[in-house]
Structure 1
Amino acid sequence: MATIDVFNHDVPAESDFGYSQAIKSGDLIHVSGQLSLDEAGEFLHADDFAAQAEQTYANTDKVLDHYGATRNQVVSQTLYVVNLRQNAAATAEGNREYFGDHRPVSTVLGVTELTFPGQVVEIGFVVDTTLPA
């Protein structure tokens, strides 16, 4: 029988919206869309794509750390980007900085808006813990 391990950042949005940051089921970790929130759950860096991406990836690292996983075990990511044409180069740069030589599959969707005013990026992940760290 597979076990399920749930992880949360313990921010108000988790209970307000009724979701978890991540669920590990078997060898896979499904990570909810991460965004630019601080430890208290306050949204940071309105309209600043680079700063939001940096904070988003930092929040992702907290999820990965909880499970003892690394970026190299990310197999898939889905990015939601406001003003994709304007932010395409910054999206690519942030992705290269975060993953280095690792190349997970990636879907990038241009969207008209996200949850918070000034939010320009949100990223969800799938992680395979059987891959080398």
Structure 2
Amino acid sequence: MAKSFDPPNIWSPFGAFSQSVISGGGKTIYLKGQVALDRDGEIVGDGNMSAQVTQVLHNVADILGAMGGQMSDIVSLQQFTTDIQAFMQCGEIRANFFEAPFPVTTTLEVSSLYDHRLLIEITGIAEIPQDRFIMPETTQEMHR
């Protein structure tokens, strides 16, 4: 089970993130960067940061859910946005998906994502406890 740790000798987190996460003992899941695509691969919320953040976090939750995971299993997030100011207004949306203790988080503003209509991409690492982990039937060996 992963545990968050905010050392008392550095600045306190001011949002939905932790300073560090200690993990081990579960199944580590590395998430591909998710963008605001629906099940059919169509962009959701063209020009709307709130709609795109919501779709991206639903995608992440769905991926983890397929393996018995939950959003609380995420230990680290990397967020790439084309508009940091608009993204910072989405804290309430993130609060609907995360609760303390929060994952460590890095957010960067980038000039563009792979499609100019996309405003946000989020990738991360999760650790699903062994007793909840469900191995998907359609996995493929990566190292042969």
TM-score by length of 2: 0.67
* CA contact 2:49–2:86 (8 Å) conserved in 1: no
* CA contact 1:57–1:98 (8 Å) conserved in 2: yes
Aligned residue for 1:43? 43
Deviation at 1:131?
Answer: 8.1
Could you say which structure has the larger radius of gyration? 2
Aligned residue for 1:128? 127
Aligned residue for 2:88? 88
Aligned residue for 1:22? none
Percent of paired sites with the same residue: 24
The one-letter code sitting in structure 1 at the alignment partner of 2:89 is A
Q: Cα RMSD (Å) of the superposition?
A: 1.9
Q: Which has the higher helix share?
A: 1
Separation in structure 2 between the aligned mates of residue 73 and residue 87 of structure 1, nearest angstrom: 23
Separation in structure 2 between the aligned mates of residue 122 and residue 110 of structure 1, nearest angstrom: 10
Q: What SS does structure 1 have at the residue aligned with 2:129?
A: coil
* CA contact 1:79–1:108 (8 Å) conserved in 2: yes
The one-letter code sitting in structure 2 at the alignment partner of 1:105 is V
Per-residue CA deviations over 1:18-63 (Å, capped at 9, x if unaligned) read xxxxxxxx71000001111111111121110000011111111110
Question: 1:1-133 residue pairs with structure 2 within 5 A?
Answer: 27-90=27-90, 92-130=91-129
How many pairs were matched up?
Answer: 107
* CA contact 2:77–2:125 (8 Å) conserved in 1: yes
Separation in structure 2 between the aligned mates of residue 39 and residue 87 of structure 1, nearest angstrom: 23
Separation in structure 2 between the aligned mates of residue 99 and residue 55 of structure 1, nearest angstrom: 15
Separation in structure 2 between the aligned mates of residue 76 and residue 46 of structure 1, nearest angstrom: 27
* CA contact 1:75–1:105 (8 Å) conserved in 2: yes
Deviation at 1:132?
Answer: 8.8
